[in-house]
Amino acid sequence: MRSDPEIKWPQGFDKLPDFPAFKSFARALWEKQAAVMVGSGFSRACLREPTASAPPLWGDFKARMEIALGYGSGYAPDALRLAQEYQILHGEDGLDRLIRELVPDERWSPGPLHKQLLELPWQDVLTTNWDTLLERTTPETPDRVYSCIRTVQDIAHQVAPRIIKLHGSLPSHKPFIFTEDEFRTYPANFAPFVNLAQQVMLEHELCLIGFSGVDPNFLAWSGWARDTLGASTRRIRLVGSLNLTPPARALLEARNVTPIDLGPLVEKVHSSEKHERALEIFFEALNLAKPPSPFDWVKASGRFSAPSNPPDQEKASRKEVAETWAEDRMSYPGWVVGPVRQTNSLTYNFPTLKKGPETPEAHLRFAAEKIWRHRTACIWIFQNDLEEADQHYESAHSNLSSPERIALCVACATEWRRFQDWGKWSVWMERLQAVSSEEARLAYEYETGQRALLKWDDAAILTAATSLKSEEPIWMMRRAGLLATLYHHREAAELYQAALLRIRQKQVSDPKSAWLISLEGWAAFYHRCSKSALTDDPYSYPEKETDETRMRFLGAKADPWDTISRYDNLTTKRIDRNRKYSEPWSLSFKPGSYRGGSTRVGGDDECPFYGLLELIERTGAPEIISNFDVFSTRLETAYRAITNPDEDDFMAFLARYRGSDKKILDWVLPRTKVAQLSTEAIEQLLEGIQNRVDRLRALNDTRNGNSHLAFLLEVMARIVIRAPSKKALELFLWAISLFEKPVIWWGGYAASNAVMEAAVEAMESADKSSALLAAIGLKTPAEGGAVATERDWPEPIDAFSDQDANDLKISIATSLRIDELISHVEDGQKLDRGRAIRRLHMLFKAEKLSDLQSQALQDAIWKRTDESGWPSDTDLHPWLFLELPGHEQASELFRTTVINAVAEGSVSHDLLMNLRVGLKVGDFVLDEAMLASCISACLDWTPNSMEGRSDIYIALSGDADMNRITAREVGEVLARTLLPMFDPQTIANSDIESRLTTNESYQRLPQLVAVAYQIERLFPEHASFALSLVRVALASRDPKRVYPAYIAMMQYTQDEASESENSEAIVELLMHAIEQRTQPGLSNALHLICDLVADERLSPANQERIVAALPALLEEYRYDQRRLEVPSLADLPLVRKRVHRLASLLRHQHDFLDEIVEELRCDPLPEVRRVKT
């Protein structure tokens, strides 16, 4: 119960002599330890029809029976004897008729007092009344629903709270207990009712209302309780306007009845209304006595509300504010994470402070309390508050208690860790370490573990987790959280289970503790999520919490899902807002009108990403545990909600993320982001990922860490391009070592291959020989014991160039490895045979095989052939065999199965690609008829129709993608291979001319624009048509038109002997694309201009134009550019590469080009800084 000064009691109520008895009973009521017995006097508070009589009292019954039995005034016996005589004279039916006459129940209705009575938290309501007013009362509070017991049979089937009709109930639940014999035999005839009433009186404080001190029912039941229960019974409270005399009061107390006499409060009330008014006051006082909920946080800081600019004398000092805020802190119910409705006011209740000097203690306490409030509200802590606390800590920290110092040191260290200011972090950690308590030690170890998480120091994380040994549930959970980040899921799950058990043991002695209930909520949630880690069944799902448990969490404002949902909603809103403000333009409704996008002014007081991190740290949450994604996906989504994430944000996200969705890397870590990372970040990630992958491989239980291992390798594949050459070689060899025993999990095959290929990209030529030797020595799938996705087994040989192979020195060991690979070609399984041929193909072209090895390779290749005659079990394209021993045999097959097949009308992507490459490497000569047939087949090809097919069917069939790549190949094979084989002097096929010079072909197949140059070369009279094809394609900005157009433009610029009338126009198109920075295809345009400059074929005037365009081009294509669209972002490194080459070629013309060259020589991406002029 609140202290009396806080309660405005009804006038004079707290002056009553029985006020202490009232307080004692009110306390029992609100602790759910009270029951009430209702007598006939309470029924008089009912509503009745105009002609209906008032509910009778005992005196009314007695008067009617005296007249009926002929007693004179003052000679009649007591009411029970009268009822007995009346029954004998008139029979039981006559007595029933008398009761029904005086108790016309159907003409009465429950009054306001009935509702007020049943709104109170009685455990049971006993009544001796025959009317049904109580059971017909409907409380407004839904949880105050009473069942009703009218007969002995009802007792076993009705649950508390109950209305218990002890003496029968109208209209038909008899007998109506009234006569002397019925009262005398009641304990025997109605023993279940007596036992029930006994149980109620033993377990609860009993309050009697509607009784007088001489009421027969009161006398009977109070006497029975005294005689039967004796000292075991609790005090019975008789409440009403009693006006007791001292002897009457003494008599009641002797019968174990404590009166609460409200008579003095209603002395001036009319006698007919005294009892009702007294009970109104009683119910009002009971409601006022209701103790505040332990889950309501009443804050005192509202007293500082004042005008925005009050005079200085009305402002509060730091000391005053800190004292008030300290009251709020000490009255905080103790939630692990405060509910937002309770903590929201902390975000804006900051008074204007009085000017003037104050003591260091006042400054420190003010800063400490303000930091506590911000941390409790989960909003940013101001740096000036951190600095104020730091400034005054040494001189005033002795005035803080040990818990206050711990809380302040932890809050400041945590915040400086967010900013990754390790100097200031260390200062507060030293101060925390200086506090000599177990809580301080645990907090120090935990914060050390959190720093280790950011630093990818798994060994330090494990050390910190090992040090967090405590019987306190919160530290069990936090230890579990650290272990979960290391994928020690079983140990973490055991700790969550133990913490939940410990919490519930503590709740036995403190069931209303908000700290324990909120802690239980989080522990129960994490226990459910991690349950399958305690078993050998990875597919066991968490149990749902019971409705009762959920309602308990809700009642305590401690439901974890309220907090989680709040962050989910905040994240969604923030992402939507960021999208809105990121739009560069906003369309107006007026025609031809638009305006610039909105710019948001001001910051946010909270960030969903860092809020989730704080939640995870505070509650000891796992990001992922036992195949259950608790927070990892939420962290990813919340990271998206950061408006402009910087490197610290990125590193914090990557350090905490435990998921495996590699798709997020396309937006979290694109190539431009890799280029922006600092050298320190790259070094930390490379070392941290390597160590973590090694540790995950060493775990006994890797079912949960495998997917994340593959994700880490995908990250490394992106950042390794920033590694120095020697480091790249080291990581390449490390990635190779992952396929020694035990071999890495099969889901990591493809990611490991990506690491190897990217590492080669980062290497200098001098280091590539060592890497190439390792790639040749890499075990084949069968040698390594590949499982599941064997096709993903890495094959990094394709990352090396022909020059790398030419530079290779063959040792005895390498020669022996070549012999092994030849044996795999001869007798190996399908995958091994194909992989071995690919490696040997590069070495054979570089003339690294001996004559014997070359002959052995030829025999091995052609030992196994399929029905068509090609080597079988290789999964290799036919053109490859044109560059291997036995190419004579391959040439004949190629002519038959590829060239003739296309000439006869078979067109597919694979066939055309093999035709294009094979004709280039195989030195085939085709006659005009064969060429014409191949060209006609290509021009006749029609994409598969998508009409009438559903989007799902199209997506599953893959036909749309196959159409796209086949159409692209049609354009390329015509432009690069088939049409160039025609001699313009001898071509006589008019059908080809007509088909290539009509718009219909290009409307059906836009990729045919690639042949524009060949049209002009073969048919000069159609030069203007050819140029129009290129112009229209470039103007379309459609990638499937633009890139084929650049094939034609490349051929225009590469043909030095031709004096094409379109050559100058093509150069002008290229110049225009560069000056206007037109996408897609900007890097292609720059590449072609680079070649013209290198060949000294670009005019001086155009060179000047290029020089003028380079600074703006480089400025727009910065790595931190946020306004570029996807095509430009994809092209950005290549654009910078071309700018580097152009600046190097033209640097002699202008001094400022030297600055560009020097800048790009230090570019973070290898393809940009390494250019050949």
State pLDDT tens for residues 962-986.
888 999 999 999 999 999 998 877 7
Q: Beta strand 628-629 with 624-625: parallel, antiparallel or unpaired?
A: antiparallel
Higher pLDDT, 53 or 218: 53
Instruction: Flag whether pLDDT at 348 surpasses 80.
Output: no
548/437 Cα distance (integer angstroms): 38
List, for residues 96-119, the tens digit of each pLDDT value. 888 888 888 899 999 999 999 999
Q: Annotate 1025-1040 with b (16+ C-beta within 10 A) or e (fewer).
A: bbbebbeebbeeeeeb
* Helix residue ranges, H only, 620-678: 632-640, 647-656, 665-668, 671-676
Query: Is 1115 or 220 the better-scoring residue by pLDDT?
Result: 1115
The mean pLDDT of 81-100, rounded to a whole number, is 86
CA 1044 to chain CA mean position, Å? 44
What is the C-alpha separation between 52 and 102, in angstroms, rounded?
A: 10
Q: Report percent pLDDT > 90 for the chain.
A: 56
Transcribe 932-995 into DSSP letters: HHHHHHHHH--PPP-TT--HHHHHHHTHHHHHHHHHHHHHHIIIIIIGGGS-TTT---HHHHHH
Contact 417, 652 (CB under 8 A): no
Q: Report the pLDDT value the prediction gives residue 601, as an integer from 0 to 100.
A: 47
User: CA-CA distance, 752 to 714, in Å (whole number)?
Assistant: 8
Question: What is the end-to-end Cα distance of the chain in Å, rounded?
Answer: 88
Mean pLDDT, range 630-641, rounded to an integer: 94
Q: DSSP label at 898?
A: I
Backbone torsions φ then ψ of 38, nearest 5 degrees: -110, 130
Q: pLDDT band at residue 851, thresholds of 50, 70 and 90?
A: very high
Q: What angle do CA 461, 462, 464 make, to 5 degrees?
A: 65
**273 Cβ contact list (under 8 Å, min separation 6):** 266
For 1138, how many CA atoms within 13 A lie in the half-sphere containing its CB?
25
CA distance 1010 to 1012: 6
What pLDDT is stored for residue 1089 in this prediction?
94
The two three-digit tokens of residue 477, written as one number? 């959970």
Q: How confident is the model at residue 602 (pLDDT cuts 50, 70, 90)?
A: low
Question: CB neighbours (10 Å) of residue 334?
Answer: 16
pLDDT at 194 over 80: yes
Mean pLDDT, the chain, rounded, equals 88
Q: What is the pLDDT of residues 172-192, one digit of tens each?
A: 888 888 888 888 888 888 888
Q: How many CB atoms lie within 10 A of CB 490?
A: 18
**Mean pLDDT over residues 1157-1166, rounded?**
93
Query: Can you tell me the distance from the alpha carbon of 763 to that of 792, in angstroms, rounded to the nearest whole number?
Result: 24
47-48 and 108-109: which strand pairing? antiparallel
* Those residues with Cβ within 8 angstroms of residue 509's Cβ, 6 or more apart along the chain or in another chain: none
Each residue's pLDDT tens digit, 813-843: 999 999 999 999 999 898 899 999 999 999 9
Joined tokens for residue 295? 């889950």
- According to DSSP, the residues that pair with 208 across neighbouring strands are 37, 238
Q: How far apart are CA 932 and CA 987, in angstroms?
A: 10
Cα–Cα distance for residue pair 608/615, rounded to 1 Å: 10
Tokens matching residue 113: 């007092």
CB 38 within 8 A of CB 127: yes
- Using the predicted structure, report yes or no on whether residue 619 has a pLDDT greater than 80: yes
- What is the DSSP-derived secondary structure letter of residue 38? E
pLDDT tens digits for range 21-42: 999 999 999 989 999 999 888 9
Average pLDDT over residues 904-930: 90
Q: Cα–Cα–Cα angle for 609, 613, 615, nearest 5°?
A: 115
Structure tokens at 744: 């890495």
Q: Which residues contact 236 (CB under 8 A, 6 or more apart)?
A: 201, 206, 207, 208, 222, 225, 256, 257, 258
Give the per-residue pLDDT at 100: 87
Q: Which residue has the higher pLDDT, 305 or 471?
A: 471
Cβ contact 739:778 at 8 Å? yes
Helix and strand totals (H; E) in the chain? 55, 13
Q: Are 1035 and 1071 in contact (CB under 8 A)?
A: no
- Contacts for 130 with CB less than 8 Å, ≥ 6 apart: 99, 103, 105, 167, 168, 169, 170, 176
Cβ 1029 vs Cβ 1002: under 8 Å? yes
Residue 1161 bridge partners (DSSP): none
Q: What are the E-state strand segments in 220-359?
A: 236-240, 257-261
- Four-point Cα dihedral 337, 341, 345, 348, nearest 10: 90
CA distance 226 to 240: 21
Q: Determine which of 188-202, 417-431, 658-672, 717-731 has the lowest per-residue pLDDT on average.
A: 188-202
CA 45 to chain centroid, in Å, comes to 57
Instruction: Please tell me the number of Cα atoms within 13 Å of 83 on its side-chain side.
Output: 22
Q: Which amino acid is at 875?
A: D
Closest CA to 1134 of 800, 667, 665, 671: 671
Q: What length is written for the chain?
A: 1173
Residues 6 or more apart whose CB falls under 8 angstroms from that of 312 comprise: 354, 355
Comparing 539-553, 563-577, 1091-1105, the range with the smallest average pLDDT is 539-553
Cα separation, 201 vs 221, in Å, equals: 11
Does residue 423 carry a pLDDT above 90? yes
Record the tokens describing residue 941, joined without a space: 């090809």
Question: In this structure, are residues 283 and 116 in contact, taking their beta carbons and an 8 Å threshold?
Answer: yes
Provide the residue type at 597 as one letter: G
- pTM passes above 0.75: yes
Beta bridge partners of 316: 353
Query: Distance of CA 257 to CAs 414, 548, 1023, 1172, Å?
Result: 61, 37, 118, 107
Distance between CA atoms of residues 647 and 420, nearest Å: 11
3-state secondary structure of 208: strand
Q: What is the mean pLDDT of residues 998-1006?
A: 86
pLDDT of residue 138: 86
- Residue 1 banded pLDDT, cuts 50, 70, 90: very low
Calpha distance 668→611 (Å, rounded): 19
Alpha helices, DSSP H only, in 677-763? Answer: 679-698, 706-719, 725-737, 749-762
Element (H, E) at 532: none
| CA 1140 distance to own-chain centroid | 43
Q: Which residues are CB-neighbours of 188 under 8 A, at least 6 positions away?
A: none
Q: What is the pLDDT of residues 61-77, one digit of tens each?
A: 888 888 888 787 767 78
At 257, phi and psi to the nearest 5? -110, 125
Q: Tokens 């050949």 correspond to what residue?
A: 1172
At residue 1125, the pLDDT reads 84
Mean pLDDT of 796-811: 93
Classify residue 871 by its DSSP letter: B
Reading the block at residue 183, the tokens are 């009262």
Q: Is the pLDDT of residue 567 over 90?
A: yes
